[in-house]
Amino acid sequence: MRVVIIGGDAAGMSAASQVKRLRPDYDVVLFERGGYISYAACGIPYFVGKAVGSLDDLIEVLPDEAREKRGIDLRLGHTAVAIDPSGRTVTVEHEGQTTVEPYDSLLIATGARAQTLGIDMGTFAGVFAMNDLSDARKIADYAAVEKPETAAVIGGGYIGLEAVESFCGLGLKTTLVHRREDLHRSFEKEMSDIIKQKLTDKGVALSLGKPFSGLEHLGGGVGIVLGEESLEADMVLLALGVEPNSRLAAEAGIGLGANGAIRVNEYMETDAAGIYAAGDCASAILTTFGTEVHAPLALKANKQGLIAGMNIAGEREAFAGVLNTAVTKIFDLGVARTGLSFDQARDMGLEPEKIVVRSRDRARYYPGSSPMTSLVIVGKKDRRVLGAQLAGRVDSVKRIDVYATAIYNRMTIDQVFELDLAYAPPFSPVYDPVLLAARVARKKR
């Protein structure tokens, strides 16, 4: 059996390692167009902001380890350019040479790329996206060599917010540009307001609610065109969201789904025989709600890769889906979310209501006790927990995992109140913020 895998990061390497673990007799050939495999893109903002000293620290598995210890036939600098599902081959380019590679099973794990709205970044010095390790290197080198004094980050989602903190850490006067008054739609307005306040407190300039229509050369730097105005910065990061790398699949006639991601079933199978997809290039189902989504998150990529690998090796393992559970740090503020937003729940006809509770994250008298905001989205009639968002001290918001577990188990907010959660003053008030939110919700019955 010859297994071909395209893409060597979270999904591709998880699958390759799994196939070789379960079926050492299978040939696993992995084509990666870049020079790295198995790297933590999630760590890039912290490398740029110098919280992580070396880019090498972000690499989980070195190429030699993949080849020698895991038995993967790893080909770096190889780009897959076409798939022929009927002939079961992949065409691959390497240093100007093209080869046609046969497969019995194929996994597409090509990830996602930063959206750039068609802007040719090459024509502007100092304009970057933050997608992979080579971007991280370019940004760090530019900051070290050109010594910019000002930066603008365009896009108020997770990556944009993390980048703002990184640039401030480099001592740059930083502006966050976002086209709406509220930040990314994945944050409820209450959370967006808390984040905006934190940014302002930390000296970040906000340029909100103005349409971004492109870049121009302006003075010694880059002009960001916002309607009638132009904002100048020495360095610009485009953090406009990501789109799946699904072109290869689409050109081969493989079906696409949410946001153009490759449509897969729970076994990671596409609609073409013998072809699987996993990670940021592939779709997923929202657990318990059944809606198809594109969720470009690391745990999902690793799990889908693992499950694709198991199934390629002959098992029959299903992926349970995602809840879009995510957490981020903006300076000393932690923000987390899981499940549906209020608007999503309303659009799905689930008649949601929002409960917002402000509390402390530890006993009031214990050193370091800090304010925390819990927002829970609950079905008005069935009382089911549909979504939750938290903001507070960085460590405190991992409580989101309790809500993710509650949603997965289709729990009502009243059942959440029944949970026996741990208490001691250094960790929480007697009524943990999760229980307190449930207690407030009970009063609304």
Ligand X SMILES: Cc1cc2nc3c(=O)[nH]c(=O)nc-3n(C[C@H](O)[C@H](O)[C@H](O)COP(=O)(O)OP(=O)(O)OC[C@H]3O[C@@H](n4cnc5c(N)ncnc54)[C@H](O)[C@@H]3O)c2cc1C
Paired tokens of 244: 């799946």
Shortest Cβ distance from residue 259 to ligand X (Å)? Answer: 14
Shortest Cβ distance from residue 337 to ligand X (Å)? Answer: 12
Question: Where do contacts with ligand X occur on this chain (CB under 6 A)?
Answer: 6-12, 31-34, 41-42, 44-45, 79-80, 109-112, 130-131, 159, 245, 248, 279-280, 296-299, 301
| Cβ closest to ligand X, residue 296 vs residue 387 | 296
**What is the 8-class DSSP label of residue 180?**
S
| Cβ closest to ligand X, residue 131 vs residue 374 | 131
Paired tokens of 162: 């993390």
Cα separations in angstroms, 31 against 80, 87, 260, 402: 7, 19, 23, 39
| Cβ closest to ligand X, residue 273 vs residue 299 | 299
The position carrying tokens 């307001």 is: 193
Q: Residues with catalytic annotation?
A: 42
| Cβ closest to ligand X, residue 49 vs residue 387 | 49
Shortest Cβ distance from residue 186 to ligand X (Å)? Answer: 13
| Cβ closest to ligand X, residue 48 vs residue 434 | 48
Shortest Cβ distance from residue 188 to ligand X (Å)? Answer: 19
SS3 1: coil
Q: Which DSSP string do the residues of 333-366 spell out, in sequence order?
A: EEEEEEE--HHHHHHTT--EEEEEEEEESS-TTS
Q: How far apart are CA 154 and CA 207, in angstroms?
A: 9
Q: Determine the residue type at 264.
A: V
If phi > 0 it is left, if psi is from -120 to 50 it is alpha, else beta; for residue 170 that is alpha
Under 8 Å between Cβ of 399 and 335: no
Shortest Cβ distance from residue 362 to ligand X (Å)? Answer: 25
Paired tokens of 26: 């299978």
Under 8 Å between Cβ of 174 and 139: no
